[in-house]
Structure 1
Amino acid sequence: MKHRSSTLTLTLAICALCAPLASQAQTEVQWWHAMSGPLGEWVNDLAKDFNASQKDYKVVPTFKGTYDESMTAAVAAFRSGNAPHILQVFEVGTATMMAAKGAIKPVGEVMTEGGAKFDTKAYIPAVAGYYTAPNGQMLSFPFNSSTTIFYYNKDAFKAAGLDPEKAPTTWPEVALAAGKLKAAGHKCPFTTSWISWTQLESFSTWHNTLFATQNNGFGGPSARLAFNSPLHVRHFENLANMSKQGLFVYKGRANAADVSFPSGECAMMTGSSGLYARVSKEAKFAYGIAQLPYYPDVAGAPQNTVIGGASLWAMAGKKPVEYKGVAAFFNYLSKPEVQSASHKRTGYLPITMAAFELTEKSGFYKQFPGTDVAVSQMIRKTTDKSRGVRLGNFNQIRTIIDEETEQIWSGKKQPKEALDTAVKRGNEQLERFQKANKS
């Protein structure tokens, strides 16, 4: 009995040692992101579902603050040798990441080396093209790709005597609707988030007009800003007039205005298709989703809108087994059923055509009218002027645009002066970036 007891003790001791070894066999993949609220819940669920789908890898998502903050944290972590495996970077940081030699591992390499199937042609062209280098190599993995769309409060429209089933399609119609909403007592008829993205970047491609030379930066690092054209000035003069009359209410930089639409405070808004997750969850009123307004007298309008949101970058210097885990996770995210579910939940684009078709077949777009607007705006044929905007120091340029356009809303500068100054200051940033990245 004593012999059997000691054998049992030894067996239990060995098993106790085996348990941690078995759990250590699972490779951890650190994922830093900038998603909060309902979108943060979505990101956590994606990691949880992937982890449950296999036993080799464990993706650990970590919220690192805003897009700006997470990118800054990753740069500092990379320099100290503690970078995550995956970093979510907003589209504005794409040119900066492309120029960060030695800091990233192209997603094409990660997928090929990881033995994952990776066909760039499966992705929506406007999405894949944005994250592809001039040599045709895809550098980052399209993730939460969004575009700019128009939201409106159907209940507020009805109360103001407007047709709740008919969104304004042109900017003159937006101004007229705003006037009626104000007359009906609405204190915030129209607002927007992301001024540069919605009112200059997407506005430019939607009207097939250059935001910057060199085909908006895709043609090379010598690009210079061009958003002080007569069309851009005219648009900001109209917005300035609406602001003076209380028809357009500026709510702040970045996505500060996002809360004002689902809360019912503002009746019309231009913002990210990714805001749908919040609107569908929080809005206590009937709402509509429509395409961006345009100026009907501009030849070629409407064309297509530009990509927003972010992509996932694989950071350099990791072990082969860890990159296999990254590839497996990216492969999981590419599955049509996973993409379609994310699209339905968040309003972000389904990044593959297969996911778009699956969503369409499910009847989702018929059940929730307007949810296909973002996709239809993006899958139109793009031109050299409308492919997107990819510039160095783009984040700094957006801050300059915020600073200068805020001078318009406060009445301190005329639109032309503000846009001219933004172009001049922004070009200094482009020149700086060009000098710093000369090979």
Structure 2
Amino acid sequence: MALRHFGAAAAFALTVGMTASPALALTEIQWWHAMTGANNDVIVKLASDFNASQTDYKVVPTYKGNYPDTMNAGIAAFRAGNAPHIMQVFEVGTATMMAATGAVKPVYKLMADAGEKFDPKNYLSAITGYYSTSKGEMLSFPFNSSSTVMWVNLDELKKANVEIPKTWPEVFDAAKKLHDNGHATCGFSNSWVTWVNLEQLSAWHNVPLSTKANGLDGFDTVLAFNGPLQVKHLEKLVELQKDKTYDYAGRTNTGEGRFTSGECPLYLTSSAFFGNVKAQAKFNFTAVPMPYYPDVKGAPQNSIIGGASLWVMGGKSADEYKGVAKFLSFLSDTDRQVYIHKASGYLPITKAAYAKAKAEGFYKDQPYLETPLLELTNKEPTENSRGLRLGNMVQLRDVWSEEIEQALAGKKTAKQALDAAVERGNTMLRQFEKTAVK
């Protein structure tokens, strides 16, 4: 005991004598994320600014690969007993995270336990609803939210004497003119084929993707995206693919360079594409709302979000959770949200940040950055447009994409492809339901 007391006293004296050293070690907060390029720079700055704002905690951001890779790495790390404190998970991983019993600490509980001021009503409901229980309890913290928009090469439309299209029939006509005026390989295209042409298409037209409010009201949801609207849309894409008036650009966002290079003058993808467009496009551009079919009653409805949220992992100490809670409060700051919005193109998640950006006249010069916000808030969400929460979503999207590709290649009709996508997907959902429901 005497030696132990001596050692403690000596350590204390040494600490006091070395004024350049901190009196206590900082508690590290590990943050695993999936951001690259300019958005990685934003992540690093946020962590650095938080670390400089206080002396108790140090947030350490680490890139862990793309969204699926990051989520899989985090779940594996939890099972091994060394999960990060914070993990960025894309929106379609929500059901999987909810089903990971004991692996997460719900944000609403985290903030209450840590004594941090936290009111979900301060956040945009179109965003928070996706990550909350039916009682409005926030499970994860919205971080980088986006929605689908249509990016437009204004210079190429002007050359072809084409107006910016608002409806899908107008898009098809515009794409044909562009195809015949120098864009033989691509009149229009899109990234994230299932997000754009099934998930958002359904919400934007207020038709179900699946039952039980697209899974938000229960894991026993049944897929329903093989209806008349979705079949008609895929039939048109198949028809236009034949001469490349429409040209498929892949399952993820790897084809986005086809827009910034000038090859595809009309391109549907995430609003978060803004940073790359701004940096790489050598032409005048804008982003406008997704097209809609005018013969569908009530269309357009409202869009659903993309992007990701921050999940707090289970099994950490009270002090570590206090640091995490302080960091989430730091991120919620109005000025900080405005910075994230302006720097990345992702949406502000609080009502105050959106109001401030608007009051500052931010959207007057860059109206396309308000486009996804206007889409999300276009109408009060319905059971078909609140979002979606389906288990094994990464695998589901691969199956759906595979069937769409069969149709585009002429190996199946649009109806056959979507029927197969629904049937195969329902089998996967029932498997997930067995593991998720205790």
Tell whether the structures are fold-level matches, with TM greater than 0.5. yes
Q: 1:353-372 maps to which residues of 2 (within 5 A)?
A: 353-372=351-370
* Correspondence 1:82 to 2:79: no
Structure 2 counterpart of 1:184, from 178, 181, 188 = 181
Q: 1:115-194 maps to which residues of 2 (within 5 A)?
A: 115-163=115-163, 167-186=164-183, 187-194=185-192
Deviations 1:408-438 (A, max 9, x none): 2222111111110000000011100111122
CA distance in 1, matches of 2:312, 2:269: 28
SS, match of residue 104 in structure 1: coil
Deviations 1:301-337 (A, max 9, x none): 0000011100000000111111111111110111111
CA distance in 1, matches of 2:47, 2:316: 20
Structure 2 counterpart of 1:310, from 304, 308, 311 = 308
SS, match of residue 261 in structure 1: helix
CA distance in 1, matches of 2:15, 2:23: 13
SS, match of residue 211 in structure 1: coil
How far off its partner does 1:274 sit? Answer: 0.8
Structure 2 counterpart of 1:244, from 223, 242, 245 = 242
SS, match of residue 398 in structure 2: helix
User: Structure 2 unaligned runs (5+)?
Assistant: 1-9
Letter in 2 for 1:302: P
Letter in 1 for 2:28: E
Matching residue of 2:30? 30
Q: 1:70-109 maps to which residues of 2 (within 5 A)?
A: 70-109=70-109
How far off its partner does 1:190 sit? Answer: 0.8
Letter in 2 for 1:232: Q
* Correspondence 1:382 to 2:384: no
How far off its partner does 1:88 sit? Answer: 0.3
Letter in 1 for 2:285: Y
CA distance in 1, matches of 2:73, 2:344: 26
How far off its partner does 1:17 sit? Answer: 7.6
Letter in 1 for 2:68: D
Deviations 1:109-152 (A, max 9, x none): 11122221110011111111111123432110000011111101
Deviations 1:276-319 (A, max 9, x none): 11111211110011000000000010000011100000000111
Letter in 1 for 2:210: A
Matching residue of 2:329? 331
CA distance in 2, matches of 1:385, 1:392: 17
How far off its partner does 1:255 sit? Answer: 1.2
Q: Is the 8 A contact 2:155 2:284 kept in 1?
A: yes
CA distance in 2, matches of 1:274, 1:40: 13
Letter in 2 for 1:39: N
Q: Name the TM-score, length of structure 1 as normaliser.
A: 0.94
Letter in 1 for 2:142: P
Q: Is the 8 A contact 2:16 2:23 kept in 1?
A: no
Is 297-306 or 261-270 further displaced after alignment? 261-270
Matching residue of 1:416? 415
Deviations 1:68-96 (A, max 9, x none): 11111111111111100000000111011
Q: Is the 8 A contact 2:302 2:381 kept in 1?
A: yes
Deviations 1:203-222 (A, max 9, x none): 10100000001111122111
Matching residue of 1:394? 393
How far off its partner does 1:340 sit? Answer: 1.1
Q: 1:211-250 maps to which residues of 2 (within 5 A)?
A: 211-250=209-248
SS, match of residue 55 in structure 1: coil
SS, match of residue 255 in structure 2: helix
Q: Is the 8 A contact 2:15 2:23 kept in 1?
A: no
How far off its partner does 1:12 sit? Answer: 13
CA distance in 2, matches of 1:320, 1:180: 62
How far off its partner does 1:265 sit? Answer: 2.2
CA distance in 1, matches of 2:20, 2:397: 49
Deviations 1:246-272 (A, max 9, x none): 111112111112222122221111111
SS, match of residue 151 in structure 2: strand
CA distance in 1, matches of 2:29, 2:117: 19
CA distance in 2, matches of 1:146, 1:17: 51
CA distance in 2, matches of 1:92, 1:333: 22
Is 352-361 or 407-416 further displaced after alignment? 407-416
CA distance in 1, matches of 2:407, 2:102: 42
SS, match of residue 39 in structure 2: helix
Structure 1 residues 19, 323: CA separation in 2 closer, same or farther (over 3 Å shift)?
Answer: farther
CA distance in 2, matches of 1:222, 1:11: 59
How far off its partner does 1:13 sit? Answer: 8.5
CA distance in 1, matches of 2:389, 2:187: 32
* Correspondence 1:437 to 2:404: no
CA distance in 2, matches of 1:411, 1:23: 69
How far off its partner does 1:245 sit? Answer: 2.1
Letter in 1 for 2:200: S
CA distance in 2, matches of 1:136, 1:195: 31
Matching residue of 1:7? none
Letter in 1 for 2:108: G
Matching residue of 2:280? 282
* Correspondence 1:373 to 2:384: no
Structure 1 residues 153, 337: CA separation in 2 closer, same or farther (over 3 Å shift)?
Answer: same
Letter in 2 for 1:390: R
Q: 1:23-62 maps to which residues of 2 (within 5 A)?
A: 24-62=24-62
